[in-house]
Amino acid sequence: MTGHRQLRIDGREVDHDRVVAQQAPLTAAQGAIIGHIRDHGSIRSVEAGVIVHLHRDRPCTLAGGSRADAYRGTGIACCAYAGTDGLEAMKRLAERGLVERAGIAGRWEPAK
């Protein structure tokens, strides 16, 4: 059904594919990111990356790698890839229409 449009309850149109993506279940990390946004109003990409890394089988805080202390966000040690991985996670949530970039670089908020 690619290319089809669907009306939202507020009268705006959206791509049908986006509606289907919004209804797909969130991963545990995505749910935690959305929960952080709900609790705090926004999130930085690097904070999202820390959440993603904490949901790995071997989180950075346990891996003990040489770069495990490169970033300390809210007292949690993580590796230097937290920002990059967080950005990618946020882009996937944005594609689903759940978040959008805030006015500040690197910050994301709920989609309006």
Residue 75, helix vs strand vs coil: coil
How do 107-110 and 99-101 pair as beta strands? antiparallel
Cα–Cα dist 11/78, whole Å: 43
Residue 3: inside a domain, yes or no?
Answer: no
- Summarize pLDDT for 29-44 with one digit per residue, the tens: 999 999 999 999 999 9
Residue 100: inside a domain, yes or no?
Answer: yes
pTM of the model: 0.69
Domain that holds residue 81: 27-110
pLDDT confidence tier of residue 104, bands split at 50, 70 and 90: confident
- Summarize pLDDT for 55-102 with one digit per residue, the tens: 888 777 554 444 445 444 445 567 778 889 999 999 999 988 899 999
pLDDT given at position 8 = 65
Residue 13: inside a domain, yes or no?
Answer: no
The count of domains in the chain is: 1
Cα–Cα dist 29/39, whole Å: 15
pLDDT at 11 exceeding the cut of 60: yes
Cα–Cα dist 39/76, whole Å: 18
CATH number for the domain that contains residue 74: 1.10.10
pLDDT at 1 exceeding the cut of 50: no
